[in-house]
Amino acid sequence: MRVLSPEALLRILQRYSQGHKVFVAFSGGSDSHVLLHLCSRIPTLSKSITAVYIDHGLQEESTGWAGHCQWVADQLGVKFKSISVTLSPIQGESLEAMAREARYQAIAALLAPGDIVLTAHHQEDQYETILLKMFRGAGLVGLSGISEHSNLGVGQLIRPLLAVTKQAIDDYAMGYQLKFIQDPSNTCIDFDRNYLRNIITPLIKDRWPSVDTTVSRAGRHCHQGHVLISELIDPLFQQVFCQQEQALFVTLLQALNPLEQPMIIRHWFKWRGLEMPSERAVNLLLTQVLSAGKDRCPELIVGGYCVRRFQDKLYLLKA
């Protein structure tokens, strides 16, 4: 969707099967306000919409923001729900990532099968995500960026504004005189994304004004490559996968080409719906866990999960 209109939004949503309810992740900021405003202008959609505000308790103003979001929802004639979540910071864990995971978990708990969640990620969000993943040495999955559609719990998560520029969103908000929240944390350059957005990107755009468009295009190319590789790897994965125990057969995995083994490991994580393991974690799995003697039961913690070898199988368990 390159032109912001209810008709263009509806065309995107019609690509996916729709359930009884549509939840719009609504922070009160300009992006999510524009998305909610567009949804409210679709007659066939407006009555099934619920705007959902998640209060992380990270800002003193967050309670007041909930009141603002309620007021906007009332003005647009849509239902509203505010949810408070409690974050328990873990040393070494990104506060941004924890807040994002808490948001998705809270919204997922609202969903019935087939329900839809809409978020207002746009083209510049996509550009930032791809660059940050590249800085961290990501592979094709990370460099594919944000997907337009994914599963969330028993429902679906759709990001219909990914092809829309931030400027188009701001122009829409100004044109309709939308009142939105300015989150002061967005200017804090202690966060990687804010540092990229506020310090680095303006310098890049001085030289390459369309960089968000071209980087997003590169992300689509990476996604196409990832999809093709996944289709080629899946038959190999099925050969070494134990469906009953959701485990991998060690002997069969070791018999594969050394270039195929790390791809199988990543495919396993993807099949389980987990974040891709780092290159270091995959290498440790192959060199320390997979290659251990049959009389040993080595294990490795990867994110919040434990990969454990027992006899001739690798198990992926909650840590």
Cβ contacts of 213 within 8 Å, gap of 6 or more: 123, 165
For residue 290, give Cα distances in angstroms to 138, 238, 308: 23, 18, 9
Burial class (CB in 10 A: 0-12, 13-18, 19+), 53: buried
Q: What is the DSSP string of 5-19?
A: -HHHHHHHHTTS---
Query: In whole angstroms, what is the distance from residue 178 CA to residue 152 CA?
Result: 29
State phi, psi for 22 to the nearest 5 degrees. Answer: -125, 120
Distance of alpha carbon 156 from alpha carbon 159, whole angstroms: 10
Contact predicate 253/261, CB 8 Å: yes
For each of the domains in the chain, give its residue range(s) and CATH number, in order of start.
6-207 (3.40.50.620), 233-318 (1.20.59.20)
Q: Encode the chain (319 residues) as per-residue pLDDT tens digits.
A: 667 999 999 999 988 866 679 999 999 999 999 999 999 999 988 889 999 999 876 666 767 889 999 999 999 999 999 998 877 666 656 667 777 788 888 999 999 998 999 999 999 999 999 999 999 888 888 899 999 998 898 999 999 999 999 999 999 999 999 999 988 888 889 889 999 999 999 999 999 999 999 999 999 999 999 999 989 999 999 999 999 999 999 999 999 999 999 999 999 998 888 888 888 889 998 888 887 777 788 888 887 889 999 888 999 988 7
What is the per-residue pLDDT for 55?
A: 86
- The rounded distance, in Å, linking the Cα atoms of 286 and 265 is 9
d(CA 94, CA 89): 8
Strand order in the sheet with 247-249: 241-242, 247-249, 313-318, 305-310, 299-302
Measured distance CA(107)–CA(26) in Å, rounded:
11
d(C-alpha 108, C-alpha 71), whole Å: 24
| Cβ 74 vs Cβ 179: under 8 Å | no
Containing H/E element for 116? strand 116-118
Q: CB–CB of 55/84 below 8 Å?
A: yes
CB 198 within 8 A of CB 55: no
- Do β-strands 49-55 and 299-302 pair in parallel, antiparallel, or remain unpaired? unpaired
What is the model's pTM? Answer: 0.83
Written as six digits, the tokens of 4 are: 């912001």
Q: Which backbone phi and psi does 46 adopt, to 5 degrees?
A: -55, -35
CA pair distance 46, 38, nearest whole angstrom = 9
